[in-house]
């Protein structure tokens, strides 16, 4: 009985990150290009050079994991203000989430608009969220785990939020009655929110 023939490893130059800009300028959906063989696959999930080529902030100052026990858990909508404004790269490493971002940049042509993306273990997608965006997600499975990479450390004094179901944004969440922290549920209407 012969041994399986090992596939040639692609090395760092054999695969790349695939960047797709979303309807909100500066926000990107990232897909991995996989190299597959009998062992499984290899994929690059982050590359400073490729981020630089797309004009994106590639700094990583902090990384965090969010574990969510129950389907329907909603976290958001969160952001930080200057001088601790942050860019985030978010990926679902277990289960599935409905990820949402809102453009809160005054003067932006897409001000107050939002986009959503499904991030799952299977699709291995990530969402690049620039400064000036609020971010939140709702879990589509039990035991969902989310990995964050951020350009700035968490700063409680600069942390802000807007309400997940504020009519100003018109977000349609997949599960109507979420499991949510009271702080997130009680954020003020956008018209009264503190954005500085």
Is 154 among the residues known to form the active site?
A: no
What are the φ/ψ torsions at residue 180 (nearest 5 degrees)? -145, 145
Q: Is 110 in a helix, a strand, or coil?
A: coil
Active-site residue, selected from the candidate residues 114, 148, 158, 187 = 148
- CA-based radius of gyration for the chain: 18
Go through 134-143 and write b for each residue having 16 or more CB atoms within 10 A of its CB, e for each that does not: bbbbbbbbee
> Which residue reads 């929110």 in tokens?
193
Is 148 among the residues known to form the active site?
A: yes
Active-site residue, selected from the candidate residues 78, 98, 114, 135 = 78
Q: Is 135 in a helix, a strand, or coil?
A: strand
Residues recognised as catalytic? 78, 148
């Amino acid at each position: 009985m012969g041994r399986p023939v090992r596939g040639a490893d692609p090395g760092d130059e054999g695969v790349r990150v695939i960047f797709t800009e979303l309807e909100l300028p500066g926000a990107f959906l990232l897909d991995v290009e996989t190299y597959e063989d009998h062992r499984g696959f290899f994929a690059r999930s982050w590359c400073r050079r490729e981020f630089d080529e797309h004009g994106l902030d590639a700094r990583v100052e902090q990384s965090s994991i969010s574990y969510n026990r129950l389907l329907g858990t909603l976290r958001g909508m969160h952001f930080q203000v200057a001088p601790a404004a942050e860019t985030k790269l978010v990926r679902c490493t277990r289960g599935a989430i409905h990820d949402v971002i809102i453009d809160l940049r005054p003067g932006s042509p897409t001000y107050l608009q939002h986009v959503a993306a499904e991030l799952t273990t299977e699709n291995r997608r990530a969402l690049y969220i620039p400064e000036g965006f609020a971010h939140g997600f709702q879990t589509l499975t039990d035991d969902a785990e989310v990995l964050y990479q951020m350009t700035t450390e968490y700063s409680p004094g600069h942390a802000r939020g807007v309400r997940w179901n504020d009519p100003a944004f018109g977000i349609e969440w997949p599960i109507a009655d979420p499991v949510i922290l009271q702080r997130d549920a009680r954020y003020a209407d956008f018209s009264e929110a503190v954005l500085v």
